[in-house]
Amino acid sequence: MTSTRRLAVGAVLGLLIVPLMSLWIGCARGTPAAPSNASRIRTLHVLTPHSEETRTAFASGFSTWCLANYGQQVHVNYVYRGTPECVEFARQAPQQRAAGAPGIVADVLFGGGIADHAELAAAGLSRPIRLRDERGGPGPLVQGLPTRDPDLRWMATSLNTFGIVCNEAACAARGITPPATWTDLAEPRLYGWLSIANPRYSGSHREAMVLILTHLGWEPGWGVLIRTLANARALESRSGDALRQVRSGAALATLAVNSDGLSLAEGSKGALRYVDPPGATAASPNLISILAAGENQDLADLFVLYVIGEPGQALWGVRGDLRHPAGRSLYHYPISEAVYAQYGSDLCLARNPFTEEFGLTLDASVSRKMGRLVQCLVEAACGPNHVPLQLTWEALIARGLPPEPLAELLAPPFDAATAQALGDQLAGASNEEVAARMHDWSALFAEKYARVRKMLGE
């Protein structure tokens, strides 16, 4: 690499003073002012589902960048949760603060998809970012999805795909062909060997399930999904728990966002592999919002500027061994189109979402409704009902998958039009209404599994 390129990549961690409007940001609402009280260390509270590697890289990079550009010492304190839990944390913060309850009030939500950030914006829990894209950068859509809220209450920072992580070494030891497609996950050969996270707590598994339903259609997609759940050892509380099961070989495969899957595979010495199911995934925006309840609004604006400016965009995309100092590759697709031309072969991902298709183009509104439905329906089908589902699936496999009882198991509880309508209702429902719906659905699935076993003569 040339010395010029090394200096450019070095900017990833803010070791050089970077022109603030380098890639994306114009100043229609003004450049954020320098943080006050520059002589003391200030803390930015960031709510995030991002991996440890991402949290570490952005905390270090932003702190160094603030010191270099503003003379301000900044400590980034992360509140780490699954994406749905991050949304709930942000929703509860104003009430807890009003009641005088102790605890952290987050300044920024860093990570999550359009549905998550749109929910907070609709509830008035995020505020407009004091920056505007007036020149350069992507247009309003990437891969058919918006890159920002019309009122700038959220912005895209990168893109991710969703696929499958498999422990190929453990598969080989057991003589099991590794899964490479969504339908592979539903095959009887993987009974008891999958690790799946509850989509109520894992945004990545929720998004992967939505992709399965989008790619295959509602009825066949639900059949694949219910068989995949039946193949799972248990319904884990977080995607990280599912990944650890696969890394150890206790499970053979799981769903994953590409950044987590590729990072895990990188450190596995060839034992693990991440795959995007061919023609059956999508490049979805990963977003950032500034939360209205936060107390460090000036720092929050600067954090957004860092993440979507050149330092952060390069940090997402440049190979870890080419950064200075070196680190783990983060395996995100930068949202700035200019980065692909600027860094070329130094990027850790070879594909370019501005010039290539990934198989599926999502409708943000439809995906939001389906995601909400998936969170509730999977919990009903495979939460308290997980053991009955496993036993039913095991009995079907043992009898050679007889068509009539198999069809009964795989049939969704309602048609596609009803599914869309229910997703719309759930998107605006209270916690009490959601709980009541899930209770009713749980009873329906328990009855279904008992009915299938009766058809099998059990």
Q: Percentage of the chain surpassing pLDDT 90?
A: 80
Q: Which of 32-41, 270-279, 427-436 has the lowest mean pLDDT?
A: 32-41
pLDDT of residue 458: 86
Same domain flag for 273 and 385: yes
pLDDT band per the 50, 70, 90 thresholds, residue 32: low
Judge whether 242 lies within some domain: yes
Given this model, what pLDDT does residue 38 score? 55
Average pLDDT over residues 191-209: 96
Encode pLDDT of 124-133 as tens digits.
Answer: 999 999 875 4
Q: Grade residue 382 by pLDDT with cuts at 50, 70 and 90.
A: very high
Domains in the chain: how many in total? 2
The type of residue at 39 is S
- In-domain check, residue 353: no
Residues 46 and 187 in one domain: no
222 and 313 assigned to the same domain? no
Highest mean pLDDT among 59-63, 320-324, 363-367: 59-63
Q: In this predicted structure, what is the pLDDT of residue 8?
A: 41
Q: What is the CATH number of the domain that holds 233?
A: 3.40.190.10
Top-confidence range, 30-34, 136-140, 166-170, 319-323: 166-170
In a domain, 30, yes or no: yes
Q: Give 219-253 pLDDT, tens digit per residue.
A: 999 999 999 999 999 899 899 999 999 999 999 99
Amino acid (one-letter) located at 166: C
- Lowest model confidence (mean pLDDT) among 14-18, 194-198, 251-255, 399-403: 14-18
Q: Looking at residues 342-366, what average pLDDT do you find?
A: 93
Percent of the chain with pLDDT over 70: 89
- Which of residues 295, 320, 346 is at a domain's end? 346
> Does residue 203 surpass a pLDDT of 90?
yes
Asked whether the predicted pLDDT for residue 289 surpasses 80, the reply is: yes
Judge whether 122 lies within some domain. yes
Residue with tokens 């490049």: 283
One domain, residues 62 and 105: yes
- Whether residue 424 is predicted with pLDDT greater than 50 in this model: the reply is yes
pLDDT at 30 over 90: no
Interval 387-397: pLDDT, tens? 999 999 999 99
What average pLDDT is seen over the chain?
89
Same domain, 251 and 239: yes
Please tell me the predicted confidence (pLDDT) of residue 132.
Answer: 52
Partners of residue 362 on adjacent β-strands: none
Asked if the model's pLDDT at residue 4 lies above 80, the reply is no
Q: How confident is the model at residue 325 (pLDDT cuts 50, 70, 90)?
A: low
Inform me whether the pLDDT recorded for 100 exceeds 80: no
The CA distance from 439 to 446, in Å, is 11
Helix, strand, coil share (%) of the chain residues, nearest 5: 50, 15, 35
- Give the length of the chain: 458
Q: Which residues contact 371 (CB under 8 A, 6 or more apart)?
A: 113, 115, 199, 206, 207, 210, 423
Q: How far apart are CA 43 and CA 233, in angstroms?
A: 41
- How much is the pLDDT for 354? 92
Q: Is residue 351 part of a domain?
A: no
**Which tokens in the block code for residue 104?**
């952290």
Q: And the tokens for 433?
A: 């209404």
pLDDT at 10 over 50: no
Given pLDDT bands bounded at 50, 70 and 90, which one contains residue 78?
Answer: very high
**DSSP annotation string for 358-378:** -B----HHHHHHHHHHHHHHH
| Range in 58-62, 147-151, 321-325 the model is least confident about | 321-325
Residues 269 and 395 in one domain: yes
442 part of a folded domain = yes
Predicted confidence at residue 40, as pLDDT, reads: 87
CA distance 70 to 17: 10
Q: Furthest-apart CA pair in the chain: how many Å?
A: 76
User: 316, 346, 376: which is the final residue of a domain?
Assistant: 346
100 and 89 co-located in one domain: yes
Residue 110 domain boundaries: 3-160+283-346
Q: Are residues 73 and 152 in the same domain?
A: yes
The answer on 225 and 205 residing in a single domain is: yes
Claim to verify: residue 295 and residue 418 sit in the same structural domain:
no
Q: What is the pLDDT of residue 437?
A: 95
Verify that 297 and 340 share a domain, yes or no.
yes
How many other β-carbons are positioned within 10 Å of the β-carbon of residue 444?
13
**83 in a structural domain:** yes
CA distance from start to end of the chain: 67
Place of tokens 């795989």: 410
Looking at the DSSP bridge assignments, the partners of residue 189 are none
Q: How confident is the model at residue 431 (pLDDT cuts 50, 70, 90)?
A: confident
Q: Is residue 352 part of a domain?
A: no
pLDDT score, position 24: 40
pLDDT at residue 37, as a whole number: 57
173 and 263: one domain?
yes
- Name residue 453's amino acid: R
Domain termination site, one of 298, 313, 346: 346
The model's confidence at residue 9, banded by pLDDT at 50, 70 and 90, is very low
